[in-house]
Amino acid sequence: MDDQLRRSVQDLLDRQAILDCLNRYARGLDRRDLDMLRSAFHPDATDHHGGGAEYHPAAEALIADWETRDIDRSFSQHLIINTSIDLDGDTAHAESYFQLIVGLKPEVRPEQPRLSIGGGRYVDRFERRDGEWRIARRVLVLEYSATLEEGNLPWAREWARRSKADPSYARPLLGPPAP
């Protein structure tokens, strides 16, 4: 393999590893899989999470805050959308658009809307350490937030599981999910 092809393949591998890290972050939050969430950050990472909140170390502080805020939620969906990545050796800079949809448990504060939506961008510094790409520094830029009425979504309440009982952990997927 010539040098140019080798560099191109490494570039693709690095970009995919960074996208995989972003997806672990989102899935870890949505499934409440705290080990998966931790795996997205280096232990000394910082996260400036909007509204003046700064998490350091990022994973542990974010988890502590998330557990408090998340207790009233029936589900969340973190959607990572457009991501641009600039590679520079063992450092990468990325900007990822995100959208967050959150459902409140019906029994919690019934006077409040059941569904909220927000979106913005994650501006990240990734570092490859010991061969693994993780977030070293994050700045969250919130661009919008709104509340909506949830409507009638009985299938969401039946299928969404915020634990390792979720069908997404049953790999390979062989049959119907357990009740």
Q: For 37-95, write each residue's pLDDT tens digit.
A: 999 999 999 999 877 777 888 888 888 888 888 888 888 999 999 999 999 999 999 99
Q: Which fold has domain 3-164?
A: Nuclear Transport Factor 2; Chain: A, (3.10.450)
Q: What is the mean pLDDT of residues 152-162?
A: 54
Exposure on the CB side of residue 95, measured as CA atoms within 13 A: 5
Strand order in the sheet with 115-129: 54-55, 41-48, 132-148, 115-129, 91-104, 73-88
Q: Please give the pLDDT value at position 40.
A: 97
Q: Has residue 154 got a pLDDT over 60?
A: no
Q: Has residue 157 got a pLDDT over 70?
A: no
Q: Has residue 149 got a pLDDT over 60?
A: yes
pTM (2 d.p.): 0.83
Report d(CA 47, CA 136) in Å as an integer: 8
Q: Has residue 174 got a pLDDT over 70?
A: no
If one compares 144 and 72, the residue with the highest pLDDT of the two is 144
4 class by beta-carbon count within 10 Å (0-12 exposed, 13-18 middle, 19+ buried): exposed
b (16+ CB within 10 A) / e for 78-106: bebeebebebeeeebebebbbebbbbbee
Mean pLDDT, rounded, of the chain: 86
Domain segments of the chain as ranges:
3-164
- Measuring CA to CA, which residue among 150, 159, 152, 157 is closest to residue 178? 159
For residue 161, what pLDDT band results from cuts at 50, 70 and 90? low
Q: Please give the pLDDT value at position 155.
A: 47
